[in-house]
Each structure stands twice: as structure tokens, then as C-alpha cells.
Structure 1
Amino acid sequence: MNTALPGCGLYTRDGAKVPLQGVEVTGELLGSHARVRVRQRYLNTERRPVEAVYVFPLPSDGTLTGFSLECNGRRLQGVVKEREEAFRTYDDAITAGHGAALLDQERANVFTAQVGNLLPDEETYVEVEFLQAIQVEEGSVRWMLPTLVAPRYIPGAPQGDRTAHGTASPTPRVPDADRITPPMGNVGYGLKLDLKVDLGREVVVESPSHALSLEKEGTRVRVKFARDEVALDRDFVLTVRSPDTSTQLTPLVAHRQGEKPGTFALTVVPDLLGLAAGPKRQEVVFVVDTSGSMDGESLPQAQGALRLCLRHLREGDRFNIIAFDTSFQTFAPEPAVFTQKTLEQADRWVAALSAAGGTELLQPMLAAVQGVPDGVVVLLTDGQVGNESEILQAVLGARKTARIYSFGIGTNVSDALLRDLARQTGGAVEFIHPGERIDDKVVAQFSRALAPRITGLQAQFEGVEGVELAPAELPPLVDAVPWTLLGRYPTPGQGKVTLRGRSGTEPFVLTVPVDFPAVSDRPVVEKWWAAERIRGWEAAELDSRRAQRMKERIVQLAVEHQLVTRHTSFVVVEERTGERRASGQPETRVVPVHAPAGWAMLGTAHSQGQQDGAMAVPPPGAAPKPLRKPSLVARGVAPQGIPAPAPAMAASRSRAQREEETTGSFLTLDASEAPELALHEGSGGFPVPPPPAAPAPAPAKKKGLLDGLFGKAEAPALAKEASRREKAAAAPEPQGPEDATTLLSRQLASGLWDGAGPGTEAERQARATALALLELLRQGITSQHPLHGAQVKKAVEALLQLTPGLGHAPPVVELALGVAWLVAAGPRTRGRIAQAAQPLAGLSTRMGDEVALRQHVDALATR
């Protein structure tokens, strides 16, 4: 921690000045990758040489390609060596009075820069360069840059020797805790940005996290912050899309020079609709973080997302929900069969959740994969945990074929853990930053989780040879999700790559033509291949002599391609002579980091609402608060109709026993010494902001088809639903486009909607469902919608099963099948609808003319 002394600038707690002056990010965002440079500027304003230690983040899926030191007009390039050898080189140089810099990887996304013998009044620059593959989502490019290593929950009692300068001590569960917990404090340095975006065509550039300044030069866009400098208190998120929403990926990129083997990256975007079918029954467990940090907007949005995801399930599927903080609770003792009754019970249970406690992730994740060892686990969390390796190993050991889909919420989430869980289980991960909707992201990803997929993939090369593939175990093909295979080719040539796998029990084959060039200058491909190869080796669970041999193999490949890993480091030495050569050992200055956005720190609120990322620095003289350990509180909420079981793995233990087993530490403020903050009991160390002001009354909704859809004749059904919601004390409905989200949240487990009025129950449901789909159609939501298409498909399927029994009510059948045709897509589904409509001449004759069909359906809807 540090405190600012009046009139003297930024100081550490012991009165020494902080040498880091600022961070600048420059680079290019191109069609397939980002090339980024992070430049740190140091200035020693003391009268003696010092050593700066700065713990900072980089994307966990990035590949480091360069490290340099610039001082006294000279720029020196670093080299990669085995980690201990690099440290010895650095330490020997510092002891001898030379300048030097060392870059260590602590975690996949956490790095430490040590810059030694910074001379008085001399500026020094350290630059890290990395490459990162671009993420494509629904036709848009999305790029994220983390800006700080946030405080994280460290479980376990302190044990072992400290080897670094972090605020936490090592524990048996987090042995490197002192290397990943930089101090938080008054931060006087900020972040600047100068990024060039060029996809070769006109694009729209936006950011949900920061206000931007854009300069267009043809198809190139230069991106800066609207303010010259912003705080390093949140991830920087950039989205780039074409006005026509099409983003093309280059299918094959290669690198080959001379007679050496070449390296390739082959990318395909599979279209599996109609080619692959999912299992007849799904098994899903939703794991939702309800720790104190989810208080505010995050939990209500997560609740809304869960309600919509539940409606993607089909009757007969099995599901469960686990809510966790310091301990955890489950919706049902075992996964429950999805029916209308259990859906209503789950809605009430989810609505009753509240935020408090710490972030104990291990036990709920174990319970989830043990509950559905061959199913799907959906994790929503905003927590930063220290025992990432322990969680990963335990979860992978407990599952069979379960896939994990994770959502990291906010500015301080354990992204490396979530990426590893996704990559090693065949799932996916998505990060939701301040300014982005949680429910939209979760629903879209959950649709992909249940989407058609091809498993058991093998690649066969014909006419060309592909070797040393990465990843070695091919991940599944998932409908519409980019899939990349990297490898080496000994000789150039033309041929094809055939991917073989299985869609359920049916065989699947996809053939892609390839041309491996004799000469191609794309060295980035070679580094990507080597980095992916090393990731696979690091994930291998080996022991004894094989583990040592694997480490040697990793070091050899990393040094050959100059990559930083957990076994290798970058080091650079500036040899000095004369007066520039220091004597004695420099004193160490540990650089503090900014409090994450949304935290209250030293009396200053860093609100997530600060979308421009403006720096908020406490006034001079603000004193740091002592640390205290959060209390650990267990909670339980009983759903109606299902008894609330004691949390698995903790059912028979007393509160004291649970506290003893989950003892951990977290950097936090003492509420008694910071009266301006309200620190929630059991919040896991997250300062809880004061209650928000009462929201303004919601504007009156426009009258339209919804009033006809659930009007006077159907008032009893709405009254019943309103009463159900009031009893459940439901969280506010998320705000979607018009009333789409509210309407979708009323969908029944069967895929239909409830209605009232004359006729049988089946007639009422068919009419209500048709009117609901017609309203969604007017809002542009069809079966092809990226978020809600799965719910529309489910409704169409339900109507097709329901209408054969409604022969005595032709107008209702015409309305239902006509709307189903309008919202459906694909020849197979429309063919089934047309066949069902054949007896209805007034309908079938209009199915070739959508305008006439729409007029006919609108007329039926107003009867």
C-alpha cells in the first residue's frame, strides 16, 4: 500500500517514491490477429539507484514475441532463457552495477517486470510485445486488454516461505500467493492508447468500457481514449464490426522460409444445421456466483439470464442450479426433470437469491461436474481466486465428458482459470465487462452449448503432409464457431484435409482443400503454433522423470521461438561503464496497482459507471486502512415445493468447521476505520457500495399486439403470473428490446405460452403461442436470432406437435401454422409446416407469398 504525502507526489508506505510514471499501449488490430506493444515508462526521482517491481496482466491467450529495455538513448532487445538462468543473469548484472530487466510469467495472465539499477533522474522504458488471435462473435471482432492484476481471494492458512513482494502469504492451496497479489494504493500513473484497426474494409469501432476518440484514414481507424490518459482500473474492450455484419476469416495462413519445414494455421467455421443433431436429452447444471461482489446490477442480470436459459431446455431434460459464495446451496438434491412445475419452482428459487459472502469456487464446481458428469455446466462468476490450479485439477479429475461454459463478469475475474476449464473440457468462455449485458451474452453462449457439434475428430491429410499438430487432441466442431488447427508441413504442395468425427451416432466428414506454399513470410504463425504446442504440453499430467523431460522439451521449444512460459523468462542487460555503473544493491520499490472499478478504496469510489475510465486519485494525505479478514457466512434459501438440502460436501459440518476449512485472505478495508464505506459482513472482502437511489418509475408501455395477446380475456392468466412473481419477490425483469425479454420469460417448459379465454386448454395455448411469436416477429426475433432463436425453434416444434389435435378449431390451427412458417427457417422445418397445412387451403395457398401470408395471419390474430 502507499500514501501520498502533501506536495510530494506518489510515495510508498515507507516514504519511498514510486518510479512507474505511466503505461502506453500501441499496436495494430488486423483481420486475423492483434499485434500489441505495452510500454512502461519509469523515472527515478530519488538520489540513489532503485529497482522497480511491477506485477501486471496480459491476455492469457496472447503469445509474447518481444521484450526490450530503452535507456540513455539505447534500445536493447531481451532474450528468452530458462527461468532460473534468466534470473541469475539479471541478478549478476544488478550486483555488478549494470542495468537490467527481467520478465517472469507467474500465471497465464500475470507477469512480473523487474527493472534494476534505475539511475537518478533518468527515464527508462520497458516494452512488452504480444500477438493475440482475434475473437469473432456474430460477425463482429472483439478484443480485450486487461489493465490490472486485481485482488483475489486466497484460500488456506499461510504456510511456507515468501519469495516475492505480494500482500498475501503462500498457502498450501495457493503456493504462489505472494507473486500474484500486488498492493493496491493511490495510483498516479495512467494508461494511454494508440491503436490502429484495419480489416481492409469500412468498419464500425465501439467500446463498452471506455469513451473513444476515432480518426478514420480510408478503411483504417486510429483509436485513442477520449481523455488523454485513463485509470488502469478495468479491462479495455473493443468491438469492430462491418456495417454488413460480415467478418471473413482467412481459411489458411502459412509460414515457410528456405528449405525448413513450414507452419500452417487452418481455420473453418462449420455450418452444422441439418447435419448434426444434439442428444435426445440434455443434462445441465447452472453454477451462479452470489458472493458480495455480485451485488448491484450483476446478480439481477444473472437471474434474468438463468430464467431465459431454463426456457431453452426441453421437457424431460434434467437440470440443477447451484448458488455459491462462502458456501453453496443447490436447487435440488439431484438434477431435476424439467417440467412446468420444476420450471416455476426454479424461477422462484432464482428470484430469491441475494449477494453476500466470499468466492469459494472449488466445492460447487465439484458438485456440478459430479451431478452431470457427462452433461453441461454453465458457470457465472465475477470472482478472482488464487487456487486456480487446485480447482482446475479437481474439476478435470471429477468429470467424465462434461463440458464447462464459463462467463467471467466484471473487471477482476480469474480469466486464465475460465479459459483452461473451457479449453480442457471442450466448452467455451466469454467475458462480460461493465457496460455489456450479462443476460444477452449468457443466453447466446448457452444456445451454442446446446448447438449441434461434432466430436471424436481426426484429421487426415491427402496430397500433403501435416505433422506435430496443435492442439494434439482435436477439439469438437461446434456450429458457427471458428475452429483452428495448427501444424507443420515438411514440403509444400496442394492437397486436402479431411476432418472425420461423429454427430451423435452418425458419422461426419468435412473436406477442406489446402495449398501449402513453398515461400510465405508470416512468422506469427510459427509462434502461435509453438505457443499452442507448449500449452498442450503444460496441460499434460505427468510425474517423475517424464515430467522433468517434458519441462526440458518446453524450455527447448520456448527458447527456440523466444516464448515466455512458466519455465522461461525474458531478460535484457545494459552493460554500463564509468559513472553510470552503480555500486551496491539498489533498494526495491514495489509498484502499487489501482483498485478495480466498482471498488471503494481509500475513501474514493471507483464506479463502474465511469465509462470513460477517468482516473480518480484520492487527495494527498489519504491514509491507508489496515487489513482485516472477512468473516465467512453460510446461507440457505428453500424453494417452494423442493426442500432446500444442505450444501453438498458441507451438509454435516458445523459453521465453525466450515470456516476453518475455508479460511482465506483477501485485501480489504476495515469498515470501522473507513466510516464512509459499508463493508458487508461476509462479503469476501468486497466493499459493498451504499444502496442506490430509488429508481424512477418505469415509463408506461406502448399499447400494441401484447395487449391483444394477453388482454381482458386472458387476464386471469396474467393475474396468476403477477401473483406468482409477487410471492417470489422476483428481481426486476431485465430490460430487453421492447417487451421481448419479458415475453420470452413467460414461455412454458413445453415451449408454449399460457392463454385464457374460450376453447380447450390446447386451443388457448396454441393461440397464445402464435400471438407471442407474432409479436417477437415484429421485433425482428425469428428462429435465426442469435440470442433467442433457440426459444423460437422450441415454440415452433411445440406448435407442430400440438396442432394435429386441433382439427375442430381451424382458425387457431391456421394462425399457429402460419406464424410458425413466418418465424421458422430452413427447408426441413418449413416443409413439415407446409405438410401440416395442406388440409387448410386458405393457408397453404399463401405459403409461397410471405406478404399475403403475413396479412392473413394478422387478420386471424385480431379475431
Structure 2
Amino acid sequence: MGCGLVSCQKEPVPLKGIDVEVEVRDHVATVTSTLQYENKEESPIEAVFVFPLPGDAAVCHFSARIGQSEVVAKVKEKQEAREEYDDALSSGKQAFLLEESKQSRDVFLMSVGSLPPGESASIRLQYVIELAVEADDGLRFCLPAVLNPRYRPRGGGGSAPPQVTSVPASLVPYSLSFTARVTSPRPISKVESNCSLDPMQYLNIEQTQATVRLGDGHTFDRDVELLVYYEDAHQPAAIVEAGKDSAEPGSLMGDPVIMLSLYPEFPEAVMSSLASPGEFLFLVDRSSSMRKGRIDSARDTLVLLLKSLPMGCYFNIFGFGSDYDQLFPASVEYSQTTMDEALEKVKTMSADLHGTEILKPLKHIYKQPCVLNQPRQLFVFTDGEVGNTKEVLELVRSNASSHRCFTFGIGEGASSALITGMAKQGGGHAQFVTGTERLQPKVMQSLRFALQPSVLDISVSWDLPKGVSVTPLSPPITTLFHGQRSLIYAQLTGENSGASEGSVTVKYSLAGQPSENKLGFGLKTKDTGLTVHRLGARTLIRSLELEQREGERKQQDEAVKKRVVELGIQSGVSSAFTAFIAINKGSGEAVRGPLLRRNVPVPTTKTFYRPPRRCKAASGAHLRRLYYTREVFNSNSPSRGELELLQVITLQKASGFWTIVPELTTVLGKTQEELDKAKPLPVTEDVWATVLALIWLHGFKMEAQDEWQLVAMKAVSWVRAQKVGCMTECVEAGNTLLGCKVQKEDLGL
């Protein structure tokens, strides 16, 4: 084909391939993407590529190699950079521009201008990012490949989202190679992925260094996700990074910067009774983009949440698209009746509400009065394809004092800026649930967080040697969860008087009791990289950007914008107000001929639903581990394809007990007569059924404990309330019947 690669619009595509190298150091990653361009047309071209990046990424390098020369981009104020780019193109010079979308910080636009006929260019893009902690303690890295067009609300203000040229994954006309190197102070247990990987290769005997790469035949039908597992993953840590020699002392890049990774441990007495009341509002995206697979995932997640809510709480369900609806006129108390009514509603949910207008239902929810003494917890399920992300985040942040927000990004291409931003601004936690992932652990982790008592009066104090002062780069901590990582960045200024140790203490009030966590750290460092500095700069820049948007006075806005631009230029980190600009002066000869624009397409998601990742088959009477499937919504009676754990959970009553029904006896593998014969005489049928279900869960489903832990806690609370006098005899009888050896103490009885 004379013109090389061609898109589905029959236009030549100058992007030939993308090579990605990821360097994971503990829980931070540096990502280097090299994009190979080649112009096989007869005229010079401008290649425009709108593509996704993680919303919290700090882009810190952008360069182009043409022939033997390399041009490194500089960070400049955005309008100034655009003008320089346009001027360069109009004078026939090669120019390269990289800028963040106005609407969402997880969308970038790259322009490669005046690439002459027959010319090749290699574009290098680098960013650093923190890795999110998953429910099973894995560290999640995601390379976004999919960018779905963002929905712009009707009558929405502001500028339109950048125009995205997209094609089905199978038609993406360029290749991807991907390699990751992992380094950690602790041994690396394993690395998993939603994509096919070549076997992991350890690089040393201690197994603290390893490499992995994508297997052959990878296609762009999904984002590339890695889950990295370390031994002793919950160890607090501190990294002190030396400043840049050429930078001015006292500046952000000239001083040392510290990154603290804290894992708060709450008292056992508090954690053993996760049954705090609350008002739970579930906001479900039912727009057309939540097609089959995505809406199924949202339904599945909602079913498990409804089954796991504690007695005494309140709840309601909202659906939204171009418009929105709600199940109850106001939040109702959780009971068997209201739970059953909600489950019936969930069965019929479909993606039939067209657009993705999340702002309207959020405004409606925030106007509703909260239930007295019931902290409001908002759970949001969406594919995140919206064009007014910044407005949404501002609204969530302004209501954070009364609403804690937990978010679930459903499907490939969900906006990380929206999903993580809402959770961060709402003091909650974000989860991403693709069609290849298990839903249950993620859902249960968020619900356990929501059920924890709110942590109040959080303060951070530093103990540093004389002569050393600290300037926080992170916003004040407003939320703490048990065992969940909290990151703090700070700039250390001044001369050390000789002491080599410092410490930081986080104090807070939990359930009315004062608590604290302390971490000591060394001040001497040989680390001269700038990763921590750039992440610290990114954190400060994001905080200032939000402050600028909230500013009421133009003078204040301009001052904040000026500070952001200064920080971006000083640190070399992207922001909403800056862009990377590079101009190749080369031989000085102008590129001649009409300049043709070529949009590089990005992959969109397919419509089919994939089975969850790491789903294992089991033999005999026990089916594979539970994943909620469509079958539960198609029939009220058990079917052949229904899964055992699903049956047990769906059979539990709202207050926590089970009854002896044929569906339960089938799962237990016993007849009604065998259950009746083994039951101790003083025990009621409901207590007996509940104890058997608990023994079965502990005896056969311990590998899925994080999925059924909350329903088991409800069951234990119910059994205790029955004040059974022969519980030891009951548990022994249940063990004998089911062939288990579960101790009464293990059950919590």
C-alpha cells in the first residue's frame, strides 16, 4: 500500500507503533512511551493524536528525534506554547506540542507538525505515577489504551472535549510493545495482568528485581493492567530524595523532598465491629455507553452491596443518563421488604437513559436532607465518559463535609480523572472494575471502608533536627481508612545540624478515642532521581488548580494560575495551564507544500462481556468460585449454571439468618432428612441453617473470605442475639454433618 497504514476513514495513519517501558520502584512507576511516526505521503502532514493517560500522572518529559538530532520540549504557559507551535508551522518548521485537555486531566493531545514526505520521527513521552492499592494488596498499574468519546451534557458550559478519532480495537493500525521492570526493597511475590504475559523473569537471587513483557499477539481491545504483589506490602516507608544540583537552594527542585507511605492501623476493638449505621445512596450510570457488560457489572456489584448492608442503615438507588430516577422518594430503612424491593428493581436495570449527565442527579442528591445520625455514603457506578469532569469534581468537593463518595469505574476506557477525582474530593475510595476482573473483593473493600467510623481531627506533626524545616506539598489529610495507604509529600529546607533521623506523627480521633501512628525515617539519602520531586510537584499543582477553580476573585485566580505555571516550568511537570513545546530548527530549511492533517485513531471498547479474570474451575459438586452472572437475574429459582457461593449469599435474609430451603440443602450436598436428623434438639431450624451456612463458608470458601465476610458478620450478630445455650454442640454437629473441622471461635461464636 503506497501510503502505508490506513484508518477506517481511509486516511493514512502516520503512527506505526508504540513502545512502552515501565520502571516500577516499590509503589511508584516511571512510564516511558516511544511513538514511531513515518510520513509515507507526498505532502507534509500534521499528525494529531488524542489519547488517554492516568488522571494522576505527572508528565515530565517530551522529546522528538528526527534523524540523528533530538529536540527536547520545554514547559511553557499553554497559550504561549500554542502560539509558538502555530508560528513554527506557518514558517515551515517542524514542531511538537503536548497539552492536557481543558475538560479532563486524563486526556492529552499530541500534535506532530510539518513532518515532510518520507521523514520519520520518534516521539518520547515520560510520566511518573503512584500505584493504587487493590483489595488483595496488589499494586495496580494501568496503561490506558482505550479512550471512549466523552459525553458533553446538553447546554453544558465551557469548551467542548477534544474530538476523538476512534476505531474498533481490531482495526487499530499500529502496534504496541510493553515491558515492565519491577524493583522493590521487599521480595516480589508475583505479577499478574488482564493481558497475556510472558513468564516473569527474576533478575537476582533475592527476588527483589524482575521483568515482565506482553505476550505476542496483544491487541488493543483493553487497557493494559499489571498487579504487582510484594511480601509484607503494608510496611510504612519513607523516601527522601536529594534535590537537583543545578536548581536554586530553597526551591522545590533544589531542596530534598520526602514521600511518606503510611498504613494506619486502627484498634482491634473498633475493627471487630464494622456495623456503623449509615445512609447508603447508590448512583448507577444507565446511559447508552453502559452497554451489555458494563451495566451487567454495575448490577452485579449492586446486588452484593445490597446483600451486605447492615441492619439499622438507610439506603436508596438512583439511575441516571440524560435524566435520572430513584427507587424510593426518600431513603428507607434497610429491611427484608425494602431489600427485596430493591433487588427486584436491580433485575430490570438497563442502559436505556441515553446520555451521561451525572451532574444533575448529584445536585439533586446533595439537596436532599441527610438522615439524622446516619452518615451519608454515596456509591457511584459509571463508565466515566463525561465531558464536564471538572464541574463534577467541584460539586463533590463542596459537599464532602456531609457526603463520603466511593466510586466504581466500569469497563475499559473509564475516566480515571473522574473516578479517582470524585473519590479523592469526596473523602472515599475509587475502584476500577473491568469485564475481566473480579467484582467482589473490590466492592467489599469499599463497603468495609464505608462502614468504618469516620476519622476526625486529623493532624500531621513533624519532628526534625534543628535547622531543618518542612513545607507540606500535599493537601491536609481528610480521610483515613484502616490498613489503606496514605501518601504525604513535603519539602525539607535548611541545613541539617548533624542528626540523621526524623519522624512524622499522624494523630486523629476514632470512635471518640484519640489515636496516633508514628513513622521514623532517615534524612541521609543517595537517591538523586527526581521521581519524588515530580510527584510532589504534581500533588501541589493539582491542589492549586482546584483552588484556582474555586476562587471567587479574578485577581486571586490569576495569582494561583501564575503560581501553577511557575511550578510547572520549574519542575518540568504538566498542568492545566501549561504545555510541552519543541521546535526543530534543523538545517533551517522550510518544509514546503500544503500541510495535511492526519488524526491518529484510538481503540474503543467492544460490546461483548468477558468472563472475570482468574476464574478457576473446581471439580465434583463444587462449581467454580462465585462471580455474579446474568443468570441470577433471569430466574427466581436455582438453575444449573448458578454458582454455589452466589446461592448461599442470595438465600441469606436481610437480618443475617438462613432458613432450611431446598436450594441451601443442594449447596450443602445433604438431604432435608439428613439435616433434620443431625440438628441438636434445642436448636431452632433458622439457627441450625445459619450455623451450617457459616461452617460451609469457613470450611469450603475461605479463599473467597473477603467476598462473604460482611454477610458472615451479619449472621454471627443474628445468632448471638438468639442466645443459644448449646452453641458448642451445634457447631460440632454441623462439622460432623459437613465433614469440616471449623472451630466455634473461628466462626466468631
Asked whether 1:598 is paired with 2:503, we answer no
In structure 2, the residue matched to 1:668 is none
Q: Which amino acid aligns with 2:150?
A: R
Shift of 1:701: 7.2
In structure 2, the residue matched to 1:754 is 659
Deviations 1:42-67 (A, max 9, x none): 11112222211111111111111211
Q: Which amino acid aligns with 2:72?
A: Q
Greater Cα offset, 739-748 or 297-306: 297-306
Partners in 2 of 1:569 and 1:820 — Cα distance? 64
Residue pairs, 1:222-233, within 5 angstroms = 222-227=211-216, 230-233=218-221
Partners in 1 of 2:339 and 2:682 — Cα distance? 19
In structure 1, the residue matched to 2:165 is 182
Q: Of residues 245, 267, 270 in structure 1, which corresponds to 2:264?
A: 270
Deviations 1:340-361 (A, max 9, x none): 2222222222223233232332
In structure 2, the residue matched to 1:861 is none
In structure 2, the residue matched to 1:416 is 417
Give yes or no for contact 2:276–2:453 (8 Å, CA) kept in 1.
no
In structure 1, the residue matched to 2:564 is 554
> TM-score normalized by structure 2?
0.83
Shift of 1:516: 2.4
Give yes or no for contact 2:106–2:415 (8 Å, CA) kept in 1.
no
Residue pairs, 1:403-442, within 5 angstroms = 403-442=404-443
Partners in 2 of 1:80 and 1:285 — Cα distance? 43
Q: Which amino acid aligns with 2:512?
A: T
CA, structure 1 residues 378+815, in 2 after alignment: closer, same or farther (shift >3 Å)?
farther
Partners in 1 of 2:536 and 2:618 — Cα distance? 54
In structure 2, the residue matched to 1:356 is 352
Residue pairs, 1:688-699, within 5 angstroms = none
Q: Which amino acid aligns with 1:227?
A: D
Corresponding pairs, count: 687
Give yes or no for contact 2:280–2:314 (8 Å, CA) kept in 1.
yes
Asked whether 1:476 is paired with 2:479, we answer yes
Partners in 1 of 2:647 and 2:438 — Cα distance? 15
Deviations 1:284-330 (A, max 9, x none): 11122233444434434433332221232222111111123333322
Partners in 1 of 2:8 and 2:735 — Cα distance? 72
Three-state SS of the structure 1 residue aligned to 2:575 is coil
Greater Cα offset, 326-335 or 424-433: 326-335
Q: Of residues 304, 322, 328 in structure 2, which corresponds to 1:326?
A: 322
In structure 2, the residue matched to 1:367 is 364
Partners in 2 of 1:810 and 1:550 — Cα distance? 66
Deviations 1:735-767 (A, max 9, x none): 89x622321222222222224779999822221
Q: Which amino acid aligns with 1:74?
A: S
Shift of 1:273: 4.4
Deviations 1:615-671 (A, max 9, x none): xxxxxxxxxxxxxxxxxxxxxxxxxxxxxxxxxxxxxxxxxxxxxxxxxxxxxxxxx
Asked whether 1:139 is paired with 2:137, we answer yes
Shift of 1:417: 1.0
Q: Of residues 77, 81, 101 in structure 1, which corresponds to 2:76?
A: 81
Three-state SS of the structure 2 residue aligned to 1:490 is strand
CA, structure 1 residues 180+566, in 2 after alignment: closer, same or farther (shift >3 Å)?
farther
Three-state SS of the structure 2 residue aligned to 1:143 is strand
In structure 1, the residue matched to 2:645 is 740
Shift of 1:75: 1.7
Residue pairs, 1:466-505, within 5 angstroms = 467-491=470-494, 492=496, 493=499, 494-505=501-512
Residue pairs, 1:722-741, within 5 angstroms = 729=635, 739-741=644-646
Shift of 1:498: 1.8
Shift of 1:810: 7.9
Residue pairs, 1:256-655, within 5 angstroms = 256-257=242-243, 260=250, 261-274=255-268, 276=270, 280-358=276-354, 359-371=356-368, 374-398=375-399, 400-452=401-453, 454-464=455-465, 467-491=470-494, 492=496, 493=499, 494-517=501-524, 520-540=527-547, 541-543=550-552, 544-577=554-587, 580-583=589-592, 586-594=595-603, 596-599=604-607, 609=610
Give yes or no for contact 1:270–1:477 (8 Å, CA) kept in 2.
yes
Partners in 2 of 1:611 and 1:799 — Cα distance? 34
CA, structure 1 residues 813+478, in 2 after alignment: closer, same or farther (shift >3 Å)?
same
Partners in 2 of 1:182 and 1:791 — Cα distance? 46
Q: Of residues 766, 779, 782 in structure 1, which corresponds to 2:700?
A: 779
Shift of 1:587: 2.7
Three-state SS of the structure 2 residue aligned to 1:102 is strand
CA, structure 1 residues 729+253, in 2 after alignment: closer, same or farther (shift >3 Å)?
same
Three-state SS of the structure 1 residue aligned to 2:259 is strand
Shift of 1:263: 1.0
Give yes or no for contact 1:148–1:233 (8 Å, CA) kept in 2.
yes
Residue pairs, 1:74-153, within 5 angstroms = 74-106=69-101, 107-137=104-134, 138-153=136-151
Three-state SS of the structure 2 residue aligned to 1:740 is helix
Three-state SS of the structure 2 residue aligned to 1:150 is coil
Q: Which amino acid aligns with 1:393?
A: E
Give yes or no for contact 1:237–1:433 (8 Å, CA) kept in 2.
no
Q: Of residues 699, 702, 707 in structure 1, which corresponds to 2:621?
A: 702
Give yes or no for contact 1:426–1:475 (8 Å, CA) kept in 2.
yes
In structure 2, the residue matched to 1:635 is none
In structure 2, the residue matched to 1:194 is 179
Deviations 1:484-536 (A, max 9, x none): 11111224442322211111332222222233227642421111111101111
Give yes or no for contact 1:777–1:823 (8 Å, CA) kept in 2.
no
Shift of 1:378: 0.9
Three-state SS of the structure 2 residue aligned to 1:745 is helix
Give yes or no for contact 1:33–1:132 (8 Å, CA) kept in 2.
yes
Shift of 1:781: 3.0
CA, structure 1 residues 577+113, in 2 after alignment: closer, same or farther (shift >3 Å)?
same
**Structure 1 portions without partners, runs of 5+:** 1-5, 158-171, 600-606, 613-697, 705-724, 834-863
Give yes or no for contact 1:22–1:191 (8 Å, CA) kept in 2.
yes
Three-state SS of the structure 1 residue aligned to 2:707 is coil
Give yes or no for contact 1:282–1:317 (8 Å, CA) kept in 2.
yes
Give yes or no for contact 1:319–1:337 (8 Å, CA) kept in 2.
yes
Shift of 1:20: 1.5
In structure 2, the residue matched to 1:625 is none
In structure 2, the residue matched to 1:636 is none
Deviations 1:453-502 (A, max 9, x none): 52331111224455331322213220111111111122444232221111
In structure 2, the residue matched to 1:645 is none
CA, structure 1 residues 800+734, in 2 after alignment: closer, same or farther (shift >3 Å)?
farther
Partners in 2 of 1:310 and 1:16 — Cα distance? 50
In structure 1, the residue matched to 2:626 is none
Deviations 1:673-692 (A, max 9, x none): xxxxxxxxxxxxxxxxxxxx
In structure 2, the residue matched to 1:800 is 720
Q: Which amino acid aligns with 2:214?
A: F
Deviations 1:550-590 (A, max 9, x none): 00011111111011111011111211226x53246633222
Partners in 1 of 2:397 and 2:166 — Cα distance? 32
Shift of 1:768: 1.2
Q: Which amino acid aligns with 2:708?
A: H
Q: Which amino acid aligns with 1:333?
A: P
C-alpha RMSD of matched pairs (Å) = 3.5
CA, structure 1 residues 703+563, in 2 after alignment: closer, same or farther (shift >3 Å)?
closer
Give yes or no for contact 2:39–2:45 (8 Å, CA) kept in 1.
yes
**Structure 2 portions without partners, runs of 5+:** 624-630, 662-675
Partners in 1 of 2:525 and 2:633 — Cα distance? 70
Partners in 2 of 1:519 and 1:29 — Cα distance? 19
Shift of 1:256: 2.4
Q: Which amino acid aligns with 1:51?
A: E
Partners in 2 of 1:331 and 1:511 — Cα distance? 45
Shift of 1:251: 0.7
Give yes or no for contact 2:17–2:36 (8 Å, CA) kept in 1.
yes
